[in-house]
Structure 1
């Protein structure tokens, strides 16, 4: 059962990145340099993005159940918060922005809807959970004499934090938007490899 739960957590990242990449490429009017990935939940076919977020968030939570006892408690809690944050954000659609979907004004919105605000808050809380999870694991692994994974976890946490702060203060600058997209991919990669690493350890191989 534990290995099944870890496998569920491991596939969340590839699903999120894979589906999100396809959406970004095929949806008319979407530009990764300008638009956050979450606005893909708007317009025709937006339900695909919402369903993907809810599914991958729940898969992450299942993976955390499989991680119990294998990682620091702070890491497990942080990852659970991340999974729940992604799920909650998927349930609340981000507001259209910067001309997406096509027909949306390119000027900044005058008001923020309740679901747009909820999406932002859920996502922000989830991101902070992931950052704390990665940094806590980095500290534990460094103490335990495993510098490779400690460095990977530290880089993930620090880069994600820097990108998160940057995009919040960027005002839509393309370089920072792309940097945050890279951080998202890095974060999901870290989660998937963490799940697989513990799944392999559990098999004794």
Structure 2
């Protein structure tokens, strides 16, 4: 299951970039990737969100099985919340923005719809959960004396949090879109590294059973 935590980020980013580069009117420097759920071919990005969310949930289940203490539960719970936020974001569509989809009016903040507001809330919860998961892993790694891994986890958590907050505040500018991309990439980088470390550190259940049987 932890392997899906490594696959989820590259899958989401590659599919998202392919859609971004092939959708008429979409500009990476001005439009958030979440806007790809809108329009005639929006189902492709919604599918991307759903599949990525399921991968993240699988990784959360793997983390819960690998670490059965309080810190493991915190990492698994934060990861699961992020996976659920991805699924919810596929259901609650954002409002058109910055002229995308083509022909749509740019919604003002005073005219935000209910589903548009929910999309923002789910996105915020997802990024917050990623940051908290990274901080939780940082505390766990520090308790094991792994200062390098702990520092990387904490740094990535801070980048996710600051990148999202700054990106949301500057959403109408190109730098805001860039900061959101930074937050996304930092979050998936943390998930991949954390999943890979857990996979390498915790014995595979099948191998563990075989070793126990051989020893007996």
DSSP 3-state at the match of 2:102: coil
- 2:56 aligned with 1:60: yes
d(CA) in 1 for partners of 2:108, 2:24: 20
Larger Rg: 2
Which stretch of the first structure deviates more once superposed, 37-46 or 140-149?
A: 140-149
Residue-by-residue CA offset, 1:175-202 (whole Å, 9 max, x unaligned): 2320220220121122122222222333
Corresponding residue of 1:10: 6
Unaligned ranges ≥5, structure 1: none
Q: Deviations over 1:101-146 (max 9, x none)?
A: 1112246365222221221111111111111110111122123211
The count of residues paired between Structure 1 and Structure 2 equals 200
* d(CA) in 1 for partners of 2:163, 2:13: 17
| TM-score (normalizing by structure 2) | 0.85
Contact 2:141 2:150 in 1 (8 A): yes
Distance in 2, Cα, partners of 1:107 & 1:33: 19
Per-residue Cα deviation, 1:47-88 (whole angstroms, up to 9, x for no partner): 010111011112111111111143532221111111111111
Shift in Å, 1:156: 0.9
Equivalent positions of 1:162-201 (< 5 A) are: 162-201=162-201
Distance 1:196 1:105 in 2: 44
User: Where does residue 19 of structure 2 map in the other structure?
Assistant: 23
Give the Cα separation in 2 of the matches to 1:172 and 1:135: 29
Offset at residue 17 of structure 1 (A): 0.8
CA displacement, residues 3-30 of structure 1 (integer Å, 9 cap, x when unaligned): xx11233211111111111111111111
| Runs of at least 5 residues in structure 2 that lack an aligned partner in the other structure | 208-216
CA distance in 2, matches of 1:108, 1:99: 12
Taking structure 1 as the reference length, what is the TM-score of the superposition? 0.90
4+ long deviations beyond 4 Å: none
**Aligned twin of 2:77:** 77
